[in-house]
Amino acid sequence: MYLNKAYAHKIKLLWIALLVMATVLASTTVSSGHPNHIPQKPGYLGNLSTSENQEKKASFKFIVAADSHLGSAQGNKNSRLAIEHMAAEHSDAAFMIHIGDITETGAKEEYDCFKNITAKLPFPILGTAGNHESRWQDPFAAKFATYLGYSNFSFDYMGWHFVVLDTTYPEQTYGTVDPSILSWLDADLSSIPKNTPVAIFSHHPIFYQANRFQDADDQFLDIIEKYPIQVLFCGHGHSFIPWKFQGKSCFMVGALMDNAYCVVEVSEKKMDVYAVKPGTNSNYIESLLGQVAARPVSSFKNPIRTLEATISDGKLLCRFSLSDPASLKFQIDDGIYNDLGNLETGTHQFSVDISCHAPGIHTLRLKATGNDGPYVKVAEFEKDTEDFVYWKTDLGSALTGRLLSDSCGRIIAGTRNGFVYCIDPQTGDILWQYDAGSSWCGGVINEEELYFGTASGDMCCLDKNNGTLVWKQHQDPEGFVEPPAVWRTTSQTLIYVGSPSGRVYALDADTKTTKWIYRATGAVTNTPSTGLGMIFFGAWDNTFYSLDAQTGQEIWKKKLGRQIYYSPAGNSLLHSGRVFTVTPADKHSGGSFLYALDPYDGSQIWKSVNFRTFLEPCVPLHSQSKLAASLRHILVPDTGGRITPYYVYDGYIPWRIQGYPTLFSGVPNLDGIYITGGSTGTIAIHIGTKQIDYKVRDTFLFTDSLVIKIEPQTKDSTGPYLVIQGDSRGTLWAIKIPD
């Protein structure tokens, strides 16, 4: 089943340039979602100016910069040098677009550094976030917005249409483009004159064949073929690399932290792209990286006209037609390209044995190579999905936060464009939905109420049965990242939530007031663990904290390891008289560490080390909750897909499971069923000694699965176990675990 919704509508904003009465039209969307995620007016765009001479000739130049990494020693030094060179040699630029990784970790002082070193630039600066912001201390670009404005937007300038896209995903290095943003982009480009050339800017490379840094290429194909997109600029790779795709010019930009950037000179419908980098004797070399000459859409001709993929007797049958001769290759999912040779105009077919491929949704890509660069056609195909897909629901935007299951087995999910859903686990039907106005960051259920924070810093309480708002209050301008925790006494219910601002809040759920606020010296991007009258959490200052749950008074704090970026940022666990926390892998510290600490004084009871980064420790889950309380071991996964149980008293390891590399935060599990995977779109379902692979889709799976057991349909049947999994295209899947 599908639920298709339009989340965006379009208006036009008009700005008057300061030096002359040139107009700048900016396309904007007003829709539900975090204001830094949805397209809006970019910061400082009103300062764009032109000279009379430029206006007559429709010529100008602008700067494309990327990867300044301010906060690192190299970034602080070289980015400053590059910006000083811009001010000295290119002060006549119309504007700069910085395409992400402005900072090293997204800290306020790093943004302040960027503001200071660019203060003397005589042109406006626009930009978007990179993974070094979103992965670390600014997951939803809240701090970014205070310095540079919105990170998804478009505007018109001198006959060109510019689109800047945020390709980040909260707390991840890999990127994606949300379906709601792709819908906005389609509407945005459909509203401009047909012959207006378009330039697109993003942090993660789009259509970069050498490596997969984001997973939205397939969704971009329809858009790039419909509209006059001429050029795409990206960062992330710290290199100057030109390439072609679908006939379009693509450029990766060198890093500011390497004292490098791009200057683009525009003359009517043409662009000359120059790489600027240091040479010898403190000189800079400006070399031509490539040229762009705007062409009508009809001139970009994909020789692959049609592509069909069907399955018969364990073989994939591929049928396609060519409008022109071409050299062909094909790829399944993200595998290697296989050569089909040089083929003539007409209809062709080939078959592939896919008996060894996992059941699920796979992607066939057919690539034709010619003088105009590679052209690709894509088709999805399903293998044995009837045995696995229980239902699917289209939510229109990718999941964020974490999936929940309430006491009735209903599923609670939230999306990046700000909606919260309650879903029937039997059918996938949406029972209710709530527009939170900002990306959901995960929630917690306490009896009949659902508490959650949003990326814009609101704390919300809903009636879990019908989704009606009980109360809502704005709490922190830097927003929230992880779900809150609940602690109940006989007299009150307290909600604890941490923020990238470093604040930890205790809210009284009954009076709806803030009981206390604690300020750590680093960002708090995890859910506090609670118990024994205390709460426990880690911050980005390499410190683990214990506070009095009632008063917020500090009981103890403990420095843990030396990590380059963060320690300990993941969720901790209080279980069986121990509090468990992990630090990420770091060569200076000798690996990733799991600590078992005394909750009363923070002293170390035992620790374990791993060469891969430990993920969040958790207690094995069971359908009968009393069983979980009796267990004396915890589960700790790592990024390599290995699940390790540890006895809580001495750290003894009774067994291990080796699964697939994961993007998950922890290990989804229930009744001895464990889930690993996600980095390639494939999950591994581990049941005893058996492993069942399933290809959810050829996208990154950023959010943890939820394993549930649903009620049987009849008295004589047994309810199946389901793996609930969202993909980055906004589809929520219920995958039935075979008996």
- Of the candidates 571, 608, 573, 566, which has an alpha carbon nearest to the alpha carbon of residue 591? 608
- Of the candidates 410, 419, 334, which has an alpha carbon nearest to the alpha carbon of residue 682? 334
Cα–Cα distance measured from residue 219 to residue 397, given in angstroms and rounded to the nearest whole number:
13
Q: Which residues are registered as beta bridge partners of 156?
A: 161
How does DSSP assign 648-676, residue by residue? Answer: TTT------EE---B--SS--EETTEEEE
- What lies within 8 Å, CB to CB, of 307 at 6+ separation is 318, 319, 320, 364, 366, 377, 378, 379
Residue ranges, the chain, pLDDT below 50: 1-36, 41-47, 49-56
- The pLDDT value given to residue 522: 86
Backbone angles phi, psi at 565, to 5 degrees: -110, -50
- The pLDDT value given to residue 47: 43
Q: Is the dihedral of CA 658, 664, 666, 669 positive or negative?
A: negative
- The pLDDT value given to residue 150: 86
Cα–Cα distance measured from residue 34 to residue 438, given in angstroms and rounded to the nearest whole number:
4
Q: Cα 338 vs. chain centroid, distance in angstroms?
A: 30
- The pLDDT value given to residue 7: 32
DSSP annotation of 259: T
Q: Which residues are registered as beta bridge partners of 486?
A: 495
How does DSSP assign 500-544, residue by residue? Answer: TTSEEEEEETTTTEEEEEEE-SS---SPPEEETTEEEEEETTTEE
Cα–Cα distance measured from residue 578 to residue 572, given in angstroms and rounded to the nearest whole number:
11
Backbone angles phi, psi at 185, to 5 degrees: -60, -40
pLDDT tens track for 589-609: 788 999 999 999 999 999 999
Sorted by where each starts, the structural domains of the chain and their CATH numbers stand as 17-278 (3.60.21.10), 304-383 (2.60.40.10)
Q: How many CA atoms lie within 13 A of 430 on its CB side?
A: 21
Dig out the tokens for 116 from the structure: 């200071």
Dig out the tokens for 599 from the structure: 């909750």
- The pLDDT value given to residue 2: 33
Dig out the tokens for 723 from the structure: 């793996």
Dig out the tokens for 654 from the structure: 């009774």
Helix (H) or strand (E) holding 186: helix 179-190
- The pLDDT value given to residue 588: 79
CB pairs under 8 A, 24+ apart, for 546-555? 546/579, 546/599, 546/602, 547/504, 547/518, 549/487, 549/494, 549/496, 549/506, 550/494, 551/516, 552/504, 552/506, 552/515, 552/516, 552/517, 552/518, 554/518, 555/600
Cα–Cα distance measured from residue 621 to residue 625, given in angstroms and rounded to the nearest whole number:
7
